[in-house]
Amino acid sequence: MSDTFTDKLACPACARADLLDTSARTYVAPFNNKKYTLHRCKNCGLGFWTPLQIDPLFYEDEGFEAYSDYHLGERPFPPWCVLFFDKMAQRSGKLLDVGCGDGAFLARAKSFGFEVWGIDLDKNSVKAAKTRFGLDNVTHSSLQAFVRHCHEQGLTFDVITFFEVLEHQDKPGEFVEQVLSILNPGGHIAGSVPNGRRLTACLDRRISAGDLPPHHFLWFSATTVSSLLSRMRLSAILVYPSGNIPYAQLRLKLSAFLATKLFGLIVPTKAHWVLLAPAVEICSLLLWSLFKFAPAHLYFQAQFAARSR
C-alpha cells in the first residue's frame, strides 16, 4: 500500500481523493523559503500541507528550537511517552524506537526490561543518546535504510514505537507499512502525535513554526489516527489524550503571545511581566481547566496480526 500525490491529490490518512477541501491558507517557511498549501480531508478530518517532502537538514541544522536541546541532551522526559508504560500490555522483548531523539524513552524502556534499539534522521540526537544514556543499538538512519538492513539480517521486533514522528511524514501509510514489515506477528506499535485540535493549536502556530512545514506536515485528530491505523489493518486500536504541557510552560507561552501582540516583544521584560501578570494568570487557569477536552497530544497503540503480503 502506498500514498501517491502525483496524478491526483489524496488524503495521506484515509486515501480519499474526492472529499478534500483546499483552503486559501498558504505559508512560506523561513527555513527553506518554500510555499506550502494547507488541505483538509472532509472524510477523516486530517489537515495536511503540500508539497509533502521531508527535509532532513531541518533537523540537523536545528531548524526548530527544540532540536538544540535534544543535541545537548537537556530535554526533560517527554510527557507523551508516559502512557506507554501504563497502557502497553507487552513488557519485554525487542523494542525499536523510530525517531528516538536523545534516547530518553529508550533508556526508560530498557529499565523496564526491553532490549532496546533506536534510529533517528538526526545524527546529533543519536550522538546525544549514546553519550547521555550509554545506548549501544542507536543508529543514524532513515527508516527505509534500517528496514533493508533488518531484512538482510533477519532482524525483527516485538514492539515498535514512533513518538511525535507521524506528523513529520510525507507518506504516513508507507511509513506504517515499513514498520509492520519488521514487526513480529502479534507484536505492538505505539506512538503519539500532536493533537491538531488541541486547545493551544492556534496560539502555538502564531508564536512558533513548530507545527508548520517543513517540521510538521500533518495535523491529526483522534479520528484521523484511528482511520490511518485501521487502513493499515491493525487491531486493538486505542487512542488516549496525553502530553499536556506543564502549567508553568503554558503561562510562559501565553505571556510571550500577549507580549508580542500588545508590545511587539518576543520575550516580555520584567516591567511588562507586572502589567501582564493578572491577565496571564486568569487565562492560564482557564486554559488549563479546558485541556482535558482538547489535550495537547494523542497517544495511540495497536496490535499487528499476521497477514498475507
Split at pLDDT 50, 70, 90, the class of 256 is confident
**Is position 207 within any domain?**
no
**Is position 208 within any domain?**
no
Cα–Cα distance, 107 to 129 (Å, whole number) = 9
Q: With a cut of 60, say whether residue 7 has pLDDT above it.
A: no
Q: With a cut of 60, say whether residue 191 has pLDDT above it.
A: yes
C-alpha cell at 36: 506550502
- Do 79 and 144 belong together in one domain? yes
Per the structure, the complete domain to which residue 282 belongs is given by 247-290
Angle (deg, nearest 10), helices 172-180 and 222-231: 50
- Do 236 and 279 belong together in one domain? no
**Is position 4 within any domain?**
no
Split at pLDDT 50, 70, 90, the class of 264 is low
- Do 169 and 93 belong together in one domain? yes
- Do 275 and 299 belong together in one domain? no
**Is position 3 within any domain?**
no
Q: With a cut of 60, say whether residue 71 has pLDDT above it.
A: no
Q: Which residues pair with 119 in a beta bridge?
A: 98, 139
Q: What is the dihedral of CA 13, 218, 100, 29, to 10 degrees?
A: 150
C-alpha cell at 287: 486554559
Split at pLDDT 50, 70, 90, the class of 118 is very high
- Do 236 and 272 belong together in one domain? no
- Do 155 and 299 belong together in one domain? yes
Cα–Cα distance, 209 to 206 (Å, whole number) = 8
What pLDDT, on a 0 to 100 scale, did the predictor assign at position 110? 97
What secondary structure letter does DSSP report for 266? S
**Is position 159 within any domain?**
yes
- Do 70 and 177 belong together in one domain? yes
What pLDDT, on a 0 to 100 scale, did the predictor assign at position 68? 52
Number of domains in the chain: 2
What pLDDT, on a 0 to 100 scale, did the predictor assign at position 81? 94
* Cβ-Cβ contacts under 8 Å for 270 (sequence gap 6 or more): none
Q: Enter the pTM of the model.
A: 0.79
Instruction: Give the residue with greater pLDDT, 157 vs 2.
Output: 157
Contact between 155 and 207 under an 8 Å Cβ cutoff? The reply is no
Q: With a cut of 60, say whether residue 3 has pLDDT above it.
A: no
**Is position 150 within any domain?**
yes
CATH number where 113 lies: 3.40.50.150
Mean pLDDT over 211-224 rounds to: 92
Contact between 12 and 3 under an 8 Å Cβ cutoff? The reply is yes
- Do 104 and 146 belong together in one domain? yes
C-alpha cell at 238: 486505542
What pLDDT, on a 0 to 100 scale, did the predictor assign at position 265? 57
Instruction: Give the residue with greater pLDDT, 254 vs 85.
Output: 85
User: Chain-wide mean pLDDT for the chain?
Assistant: 84
Give the highest mean pLDDT range of 20-29, 146-155, 196-205.
146-155
**Is position 9 within any domain?**
no
Lowest mean pLDDT among 42-51, 111-120, 272-281: 272-281
Cα–Cα distance, 121 to 57 (Å, whole number) = 9
- Do 235 and 115 belong together in one domain? yes
- Do 260 and 238 belong together in one domain? no
What secondary structure letter does DSSP report for 81? G
* Cβ-Cβ contacts under 8 Å for 55 (sequence gap 6 or more): 31, 32, 214
Instruction: Give the residue with greater pLDDT, 2 vs 229.
Output: 229
Q: With a cut of 90, say whether residue 2 has pLDDT above it.
A: no
* Cβ-Cβ contacts under 8 Å for 267 (sequence gap 6 or more): 256, 259
**Is position 278 within any domain?**
yes
Burial class (CB in 10 A: 0-12, 13-18, 19+), 20: middle
- Do 156 and 299 belong together in one domain? yes
- Do 156 and 62 belong together in one domain? yes
